[in-house]
Amino acid sequence: MDADALISCGAMTLQFVAEYWRSIEKHPVVANVQPGYLRQLLPAQAPEQAESFSSIINDLESTIMPGVTHWHSPNFYAYFPTAASYPAICADILSGGIACIGFSWIASPACTELEAIVMDWLAKAMSLPEFFLSTGNGGGIIQGTASEATLVALLAARSRIFGEKKAEDPTLTLGRLLDQLIIYCSDQAHSSVDKAALILGCRLRKIASDLDCVMRGEQIEIAIAEDRAQGLIPFFIVATLGTTPTCAFDDLISVGRVCEKEHLWMHIDAAYAGNAFICPEYRHLLNGIEYAESFNFNPHKWMLVNFDYSAMYLKDRTHFIDAFNVDPLYLKHAFQSSAPDYRHWQIPLGRRFRSLKLWFVFRTFGLDGLRAYIRKHIQLADYFISLISKDDRFEIVFPAAEQLGLVCFRLKNSSNELNERLLKALHDDKRIYLVPSMVKQKYILRLAICSWLADEKHVQFAWDVIEQVTNKLLLSL
């Protein structure tokens, strides 16, 4: 390691990032390139000789940046936000510089212990149940994504049910059990649930949500009774707080009561909306979390922590340790009984020093600063609602989404095809970026407040663009 080169090259890199942030509004929000553009600009082979760092930075500007979609542009309203802040970026630099692989306590004690501490801080900031704290039987762990957390929870639940059924029938094999296992989720749940079921080879049944896109316990009870009658074994359900299409919230209380009665593992996916629970006024949406075996949300979406940082909480960590405990001699150490080894709580062995990011963010902004940031995004979404509500050509659909920074809308009394044409016209216009969703046979446009730079003037600009493009589209009919 050349420390002097690190200083000079690091300064160039930070200068590049700072200038990018200052000028991000000047970039087209979506890259104006075609698939394969980069292969035409870069050599076919890696360089044989070393190149200067300045030439690499210059090429970054000329070849890479034209192909970037600018997620932090105030004109980006697609998907859900991805977070970024200078303390999190600095913490990422430190994680790369320290370069430890914290799979066990002995592999890097500070890496393990800081993770347990900041995850407890986070749980307390959200008033999560005490059984999720590391001081009890549960605890928190940083996973890469909510998709990973869902898969890990599903594997732990499968391990638990296999142990229980094996105790009843010692001849039972996992393969035979898999033929009978069935998972449940809402028809509004994230696609990662489908993928997790595919990986495990388990059946997945989607429960019809109500007109407000909410999954309720009554429908699950009916499904469980039908499936048990077919000889299947229900064992796992994903409840969603803040669905991707409309930010709907499943009824945790009714779902949880069914899980308790029927002995199902309830995993809560709150990838986006979970961040808002640091604000006391939104914690009522957590009612029923006491029934959960696991809970997950992504600070890398809305809590100013750069990707990747997915916070996962477990009611009983032994279910995870039992599922993932592979313990060769070269990984054992003298402190295994007195400190967590996170390698037993996850799929990979290696893990980065990701807890530094949340530690830096907590200390730089404080909980008050994070609450203010989230509330501002919600207020900006409310401002957009006030603008669109003045135009009687539009309607707000699935209005439960209003409460957490996502607005779902469409042209009133119109076909799905016309709304699809409106979105295409907005994409062709290139000034703002939105994505659609199809919910209850309705094609809707989603506007999510995403950028940390966003202000009322940007929301006003977005509405002006939508209004102008709509006028042009309707005149052409």
Cα angle 162, 167, 169; round to 5: 90
442-448, strands of its sheet edge to edge: 394-396, 406-411, 442-448, 435-439
Provide the edge-to-edge strand list for the sheet that holds 294-297.
139-143, 310-314, 294-297, 265-269, 233-240, 181-186, 203-207
- Give Cβ neighbours of residue 411 (< 8 Å, ≥ 6 apart): 393, 394, 395, 418, 419, 422, 470
CB 120 within 8 A of CB 137: no
Residues 21 and 85 sit within 8 Å (Cβ to Cβ):
no
With a CB cutoff of 8 Å and minimum separation 6, the contacts of 90 are 360
Residue 256: what pLDDT?
A: 97
Structure tokens at 443: 């094609």
Burial of residue 425 (CB within 10 Å: 0-12, 13-18, 19+) is: middle
DSSP 109-173: HHHHHHHHHHHHHHHHHTT--GGGSTTTT-EEEEES-HHHHHHHHHHHHHHHHHHHHHHH-TT--
Those residues whose C-beta lies under 8 Å from the C-beta of residue 463, and which sit 6 or more positions away, are: 384, 387, 388
User: So what's the pLDDT on residue 109?
Assistant: 86
pLDDT of residue 340: 80
Go through the domains of the chain in sequence order and give each one's CATH number.
3-68 (1.20.1340.10), 94-360 (3.40.640.10), 373-475 (3.90.1150.10)
Pick the closest to residue 220 from 250, 193, 191 (CA basis): 250
Q: How many CB atoms lie within 10 A of CB 32?
A: 10
**Alpha-carbon gap, residue 53 to 283, rounded angstroms:** 48
Inter-residue contact 58 to 433 (CB < 8 Å) = no
Q: Cis check for the bond before 308: say yes or no (omega within 30 of 0).
A: yes
Position 401 scores a pLDDT of 55
Q: Which of 269, 239, 263 is nearest to 251 (CA)?
A: 239
* Cβ proximity of 275 and 296 under 8 Å: no
Which are the contacts of 395, defined by CB distance < 8 A and separation ≥ 6?
Answer: 409, 410, 411, 412
Q: Which residues pair with 442 in a beta bridge?
A: 439
Both tokens assigned to 110: 């500070």
- Indicate the pTM of the whole model: 0.93
Residue whose C-alpha is closest to residue 86's, from 20, 27, 156, 29: 20
- For residue 326, the model assigns a pLDDT of 79
The CA-to-CA distance between both ends of the chain, in Å, stands at 64
**Average pLDDT per block of 10 residues along the chain, 477 residues long:** 88 95 94 94 94 95 95 96 95 90 79 92 97 94 93 94 93 93 97 94 95 95 97 97 95 97 97 96 95 97 95 92 78 71 78 93 98 97 95 89 84 97 97 96 96 96 98 92
* Six-digit token string for 470: 């709509």
Determine the pLDDT at residue 345.
Answer: 79
| Side-chain-side CA neighbours of residue 326 (13 Å) | 7
CA gap 407, 402 in Å, rounded? 6
